[in-house]
């Protein structure tokens, strides 16, 4: 696996690969890699792409400086995992390479059709502007044919899909399914920060989402969410930020099951001081 820290070197290498007729598949990440990330690389390889992964903990998408400081950073084991799984290139820039100190930092402004307003947008002001800023920069650098992202970050995926439509970039986006731990907890870099007891009890998150999904059309949405939140908050260190049943296309919150053809239930909660998100498509 090639590792590049400089944009210039990466671009030279990828230009050469493109000239050899390779298609570039790209999976941007923030590191502390797990099997969920690996599944994105596997999807790129299965498609026949030259697989590029980036690891960059992007400061501009963290609204909480403490969350940024505590975000797990495990570069050496990340490299091992990528090599074991056939990743071709790792792009590993530092902050100055992505945001040169002499360059004015501007966040792109796009009409996201309100996709950025509910849920994560409401709870983490500025998060999606920072996320799009870094995704746009990374796409300009890597210029992939195929982009692989996880459904785990459902709202992020919807926003990037919309961004690609708005900018008419010739990039095909693949939304890859969420990989879970055996008891159901969605794999996440932040799981590393849970105690083993919290990690066991965090299985309740997927149970709560599954409970909502199971009662599709059988129970009132608002009551169902309230009950599920109450069950989760029986755990003294769980605090739910939102649990919403939404139209999976517009991300608008639903009152009635029949108001959308595609539905997703999304949750964000804190387990201790660690913030987790998850979602399931319904039915
Ligand atoms: P992150 O490093 O958390 O920014 O995630 C990088 C990419 O991996 C994003 O596209 C995520 O949606 C995706 N991802 C994170 N967790 C999972 C998972 N459990 N299953 C599948 N994809 C995931």
Q: What is the pLDDT of residue 277?
A: 98
Q: Is the CB of 60 under 6 A from ligand 1?
A: no
Does 71 share its domain with 121? yes
Considering the domain architecture, whether residues 16 and 101 belong to the same structural domain is answered as yes
Are 34 and 132 in the same domain? yes
Last residue of a domain, one of 176, 201, 216: 176
Closest atom of ligand 1 to 39 CA is 21
Catalytic positions are 37
User: Does residue 281 lie within any of the structural domains?
Assistant: no
37 CA to centre of ligand 1 in angstroms: 5
Protein residue with least CA distance to atom 11, ligand 1: 150
Peptide bond before 283: cis, by omega within 30 degrees of 0?
A: yes
What's residue 283's pLDDT? 83
154 to each of 76, 121, 233, 278, how far by Cα in Å?
A: 28, 12, 23, 8
The residue whose C-alpha atom lies closest to atom 7 belonging to ligand 1 is: 29
Q: Does 275 sit in the ligand 1 pocket, CB within 6 Å?
A: no
| Count of structural domains within the chain | 2
One domain, residues 240 and 111: no
Residues 229 and 257 reside in one and the same domain? yes
Q: Does the Cβ of 152 fall within 6 Å of ligand 1?
A: yes
- In-domain check, residue 129: yes
Do residue 171 and residue 196 come from a single domain?
no
3-class SS string, 87-148: CCEEECCCHHHHCCCCCCCCCCCCCCCCCCCCCHHHHCCCHHHHHHHHHHHHHHHHCCCEEE
Q: What is the CATH number of the domain that holds 207?
A: 3.30.1300.10
Query: What is the full per-residue pLDDT of the chain (283 aa) written as tens digits?
Result: 999 999 999 999 999 999 999 999 999 999 999 999 999 999 999 999 999 999 999 999 998 999 999 999 999 999 999 999 999 999 999 999 999 999 887 888 999 999 999 999 999 999 999 999 999 999 999 999 999 999 999 999 999 999 999 999 999 999 999 999 999 999 999 999 999 999 999 999 999 999 999 999 999 999 999 999 999 999 999 999 999 999 999 999 999 999 999 999 999 999 999 999 999 999 8
The dihedrals phi and psi of 109, each to the nearest 5 degrees, come to -115, 120
Q: How confident is the model at residue 228, as a pLDDT?
A: 98
Strand ranges across the sheet with 2-4? 2-4, 89-91, 50-55, 24-29, 146-150, 172-176
From the CB of 138, is ligand 1 less than 6 Å away? no
User: How many other C-beta atoms lie within 10 A of the C-beta of residue 210?
Assistant: 14
Please tell me the distance between residue 258's alpha carbon and the centre of ligand 1 in angstroms.
30
Beta bridge partners of 27: 53
Look at the block and give the residue holding tokens 């992964």: 53
Does residue 201 share a domain with residue 170?
no
Do 61 and 152 share a domain, yes or no?
yes
Clarify whether residues 123 and 204 are in a common domain.
no
pLDDT (0 to 100) of residue 108: 83
- C-alpha 169/C-alpha 255 separation (Å) is 35
Final residue of a structural domain among 144, 176, 208: 176
Q: pTM to 2 decimals?
A: 0.98
**Domain boundary residue, one of 176, 202, 217:** 176
Beta bridge partners of 26: 52, 147
CATH of residue 13: 3.40.50.620
Per the structure, the complete domain to which residue 242 belongs is given by: 189-276
Are residues 148 and 117 located together in one domain of the fold?
yes
Residues 131 and 45 in one domain: yes
What is the Cα–Cα distance from 261 to 228, expressed in whole angstroms?
23
């Amino acid at each position: 696996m090639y590792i590049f820290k400089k944009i210039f070197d990466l671009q030279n290498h990828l230009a050469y690969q493109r000239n050899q007729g390779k298609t570039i598949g790209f999976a941007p990440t923030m590191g502390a890699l797990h099997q969920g990330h690996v599944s994105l690389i596997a999807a790129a390889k299965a498609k026949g792409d030259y697989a590029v992964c980036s690891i960059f903990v992007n400061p501009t998408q963290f609204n909480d400086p403490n969350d940024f400081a505590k975000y797990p950073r495990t570069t050496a084991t990340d490299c091992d995992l990528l090599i074991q799984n056939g990743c071709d290139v790792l792009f590993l820039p530092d902050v100055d390479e992505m945001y040169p100190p002499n360059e004015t930092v501007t966040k792109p402004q796009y009409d996201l059709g309100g996709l950025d307003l509910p849920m994560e947008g409401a709870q983490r002001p500025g998060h999606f502007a920072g996320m799009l800023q870094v995704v746009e920069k990374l796409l300009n650098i890597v210029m992939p044919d195929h982009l692989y992202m996880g459904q785990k970050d459902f709202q992020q995926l919807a926003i990037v899909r919309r961004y690609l439509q708005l900018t008419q970039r010739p990039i095909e986006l693949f939304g890859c399914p969420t990989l879970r731990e055996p008891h159901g907890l969605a794999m996440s870099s932040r799981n590393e920060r849970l105690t083993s007891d919290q990690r066991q009890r965090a299985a309740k998150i997927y149970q709560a989402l599954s409970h909502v999904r199971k009662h599709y059309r059988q129970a009132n949405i608002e009551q169902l969410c309230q009950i599920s939140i109450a069950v989760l908050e029986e755990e003294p260190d769980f605090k739910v930020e939102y649990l919403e049943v939404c139209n999976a296309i517009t991300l608008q919150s639903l009152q009635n099951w029949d108001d959308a053809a595609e539905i997703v239930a999304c949750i964000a909660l804190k387990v201790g001081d660690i913030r987790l998100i998850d979602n399931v498509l319904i039915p």
